[in-house]
Amino acid sequence: MRRLGYAASDIYTQGHAGLLILNPNKNIHIRGGCFQNNVKTNSYGFHSREYSLEKPEGVFRVALIGDSYIEAMQIKQDKTVASLLEQKLNSLNPRSYRYEVIPFGISSHGTYKSILYFEKYAIEFSPDLVIAAFSLNDAQDDAFEPSVTPSPGISKSVKKILRKSVLITTLRKSYLTAISNPEKNSDKLSAEVEILLPEYNDFWRNAWIREEKLLKNFKDEVTKNNSNFMLVSLTDGYRVHKELLEKFKDTTQGNSIDLDKPEKILSLIARENSFPYLALTQLFRERAQKEDEMTVWSCDGHWNEEGHKWASDALFDYLVSQKLIGN
């Protein structure tokens, strides 16, 4: 796949504390089935323009931390949600600050790793506000987090392959899913379906208990460092667009689903732990009823330019209305 150009060779490298980052200061060509993009990384290994480590006088900084949606490899740098949000904040008139929105996005991780990216990277930029971006698969990713570290007996070269190979990581997660979820429905529903079921089995109940603990810890780590914390939950195409939902229903095997169940749980977690929470799915769904625009790539499922624009609009409105941007 890399030789065919669908994934660039050596996209990732190990950064602080063994965390994966994009290779710093690189131009990486990415090609998917319906898009191509040239990704420019900064000196810290993220898909973003360069920011000074020391926060300039009169600047209000927002750190946006999440997985592939925030990494945004499919989108030009100035069209990502972080860049668009920064532009919108700096268009405020009058405004008390100059705003910088710095993304810390790396594919395939959940809340546990987001905390580590905050501690090892984002904190160095002295953010005033930290936005944790939650994807639907984060609860599953976090459920397996204690098991993903290779055993001490494995050689360094094998560990490196395990950390860098998307194929091996995917196969390992599938294996862990199979052995760690004995109550999985006999008809082998996918995790995408199971997380939307009206009633959860023990695996998903425990996954959400773990997720609440992680989000509380995330908030505590952020506030301990004199920053404010908020949570935003991201969207999936089939939970926004009716035409994609019809295709998704073919995978539910007749089971009833609640498209907004994760947001209901996250809303309760946010309320009980006293932090601001923005759910994008319902906002996207309402906007999609008025605008005939697709927000995801048909071949990829991640946000296209329209999706990043809608997300930046919703975040901007929420930050202003909730007075979270120091204005």
**Residue 166 burial (CB < 10 Å; 0-12/13-18/19+)?**
middle
For residue 280, what are its two tokens?
């994008």
3-state secondary structure of 100: strand
145 band by pLDDT with thresholds 50, 70 and 90: confident
pLDDT at residue 286, as a whole number: 97
State what percent of residues in the chain have pLDDT above 70.
Answer: 84
Q: Is the pLDDT of residue 6 over 90?
A: no
For the stretch 247-280, pLDDT in tens is 999 999 999 999 999 999 999 999 999 999 999 9
Contacts of 92 (CB under 8 A, 6+ apart): 320, 327
Helix boundaries (H) for the chain: 68-71, 81-89, 111-120, 138-143, 156-164, 166-180, 191-194, 202-224, 242-249, 261-273, 280-290, 305-321
pTM for the whole structure = 0.87
Measured in whole angstroms, the distance separating CA 35 from the mean position of its chain's CA atoms is 20
Q: In whole angstroms, give the CA distance from residue 62 to residue 82.
A: 9
* Domains assigned to the chain: 12-321 (3.40.50.1110)
In the three-class reduction of DSSP (H, G, I as helix; E, B as strand; rest coil), residue 27 is classed as: strand
- In order of 8, 24, 61, 103, 274, the CA distances from 40 in angstroms are 13, 9, 21, 13, 37
Scan for tokens 């989000």, then name that residue. Answer: 215
Poorest-pLDDT segment among 57-61, 158-162, 272-276: 158-162
Residue type, 199: E
Question: Which pLDDT band holds residue 182 (cuts at 50, 70, 90)?
Answer: very low
Mean pLDDT of the chain: 88
Q: How far apart are CA 76 and CA 264, in angstroms?
A: 33
CA angle 31, 26, 297 (to 5 degrees): 25
β-bridge pairing 228-233 and 277-279: parallel
Percent with pLDDT over 90 in the chain? 77
Residue bearing the bigger pLDDT, 6 or 112: 112
Query: Which residues contact residue 95 at a Cβ distance below 8 angstroms, ignoring those fewer than 6 apart?
Result: 89, 327
Is the pLDDT at 217 greater than 70? The verdict is yes
Given a cut of 70, whether residue 149 has pLDDT beyond it is: no
Q: Pairing between strand 12-14 and 20-22?
A: antiparallel
CA–CA separation, 72 and 107 (whole Å): 9
Q: How far apart are CA 304 and CA 294, in angstroms?
A: 8
Element (H, E) at 64: strand 59-66
